[in-house]
Amino acid sequence: MTGPLAGHVRASKVSGQYGVVPGAPAEQADPCTMVIFGATGDLTKRKLFPALYQLAAEHLLHPNFAVLAVGREPAETDDTFRERIRLALVDSDEVKHFNDDVWKRLAARTFYAGGDASDASAYELIKRRLVEIEESRAETERNRFFYLAVPPSVFEPIVRHLSSSGLVPKHDNPKERPWARVVVEKPFGHSLDTAKSLNALVLSMFAEHQVYRIDHYLGKETVQNVLVFRFANTIFEPLWNRSHISHVQITAAEEVGVEARGRYYEEAGVVRDMFQNHLLQLLALTAMEPPSSMTANAVRDEKVKVLKSIRWLTPESIPSSTVRAQYAPGTIRSRAVTGYRAEPDVAEDSHTPTFAAARFYVDNWRWQGVPFYVRSGKRLGKRVSEIAVQFHAPPHLMFGGGEGHAPLQANTLVMRVQPNEGISLSFEVKVPGAAVAMTQHVEVAPVEMDFTYAEAFGETAAPAYETLLLDVMIGEMTLFLRSDEVEAAWKIIDPLLCFWEEHTPNPMATYAAGSWGPDEADQLIAADGAAWRTP
């Protein structure tokens, strides 16, 4: 078995030596050229090149790998672009220890082409540069993938030009060489209709196996581990159902505000930005049935079944099942911060939500009646993403809960996606003390059994984009979204967006920056006798 669920070739950082992780396939990326559209943008600088640098440092790039960066700046040259990227890597949070020798090896394979990717004339220059870069390779080794690190508004013209120029011919056979692939960033569409139109366009020009729709959350180590944790450990799977689980909480909280992305955020909001992709993916992985095999289509088939089983939100259920709010001025890490409406490029009377919470139900045999509470927001109390599975409380309480003592807490299994990636399980134990008769009060307290990747393996998890880029190079699609998966997620979210657009709140609910969201979110979950976790 190959692919991310089997484990990639990873560099061992013990004693500074590089090697292969035990049990991982001895597999290196195919020889290929990565073409980045939007090469001078933020994503390229903050995520893509740090990931490529790490892959180079871990010797996971093929010797014939190269990067052709395409940007609008015509005056940029190979050398000036390389220096721009070098400075970005030195300052990057994702590159822990910048090594000049590693960078020189990557820089020698990094090139630049100036041009407007939405203009057909730019593709002749791209072709010429690719011929120059690949001239020493055999014909079958001239593999290419085109990464659209650009705003969604230019996806369509780039896709059309890649097809009409012949740079990405349609290949029905996934094993055909040389291969050509297209990587598309989220959001994939702005609504269900636009997602369907974009899918129809893309699939009229390319085969499904050529299209890699990225959701970077799926590249995170802990997200991948959800399936391994569930299906490789028999102690949990028999309990993973409505008979034993009270509810599930999925949280994706950010300390930061919208920063310099006010214009984008006004169009997107928290639901398009987080729910339609990241959070529904976490829900699907948590709720899915065991796939027949750990292959891309088998895993994605089961995720689609979950998405199609989620009870649709209706105009009648939305007011009692969802909450929206904006952050107001507050304090983050002892620093005063402004409210959302005072951010640059945000309307003074904006009703765009920066926080949302929702209650979903998965209407199938396993999960009938189990609520999935999902929340996400900007300017919350802590940066954290987690899946918390709360089990039913004991049916009869023989211990604890006496006068002056806290009631027993239900067991909770928490899978931390970020930061401090790991898994914890809470359970109740007797507090040590003098022996007492069992008919008298026994003091009980909750404790946690905790696993972290850093402590267990002596290294931090690989950044998500490092995993995802390597998957594109080896043709592994498990961690990428399929067209029907994208549309199934939009079918869940679209009714909510339409209802909110037609029913403007007056006034808009708010929450203080640095808090855990509005009171309305607490009331949503309290109506079911539960409460949000404070991570």
d(CA 433, CA 412): 26
C-beta separation of 36 from 147 below 8 A: yes
| Cβ count near 163 (within 10 Å) | 18
d(CA 422, CA 20): 22
d(CA 327, CA 512): 6
d(CA 338, CA 331): 9
| Cβ count near 486 (within 10 Å) | 26
- In angstroms, the first-to-last Cα distance of the chain is 36
d(CA 182, CA 341): 37
C-beta separation of 177 from 144 below 8 A: no
Beta strands in 172-321 (DSSP E): 180-184, 211-213, 245-253
Please, what's the b/e burial string for 36-56 (b: 16 or more CB within 10 A of its CB; e: otherwise)? bbbbbbebbbbbbbbbbbbbb
Which region, left, alpha or beta, applies to residue 400 given φ > 0 means left and ψ of -120 to 50 means alpha?
left
Q: Which neighbouring-strand residues pair with 445? A: 429
Residue with tokens 């500074």: 16
| Cβ count near 310 (within 10 Å) | 22
Distances (CA, A) of 411 to 6, 115, 427: 30, 57, 5
Distances (CA, A) of 137 to 109, 134, 141, 502: 14, 5, 6, 57
d(CA 245, CA 373): 13
Amino acid at residue number 384: V
Indicate if 244 belongs to the active site: no
Query: Quick check: helix, strand or coil at residue 320?
Result: helix
d(CA 229, CA 437): 40
Kind and range of the H or E run holding 429: strand 422-430
Query: Quick check: helix, strand or coil at residue 317?
Result: coil
C-beta separation of 69 from 81 below 8 A: yes
Question: Angle CA(18)–CA(23)–CA(29) in degrees, nearest 5?
Answer: 60
Cis upstream peptide for 178 (omega within 30°): yes
Catalytic residue among 161, 209, 216, 278: 278
Cis upstream peptide for 4 (omega within 30°): no
Amino acid at residue number 275: F
Q: Report the candidate in 299, 216, 306 with the shortest Cα–Cα distance to residue 488.
A: 306
Let me know how long the chain is: 535
Active-site amino acid positions: 278
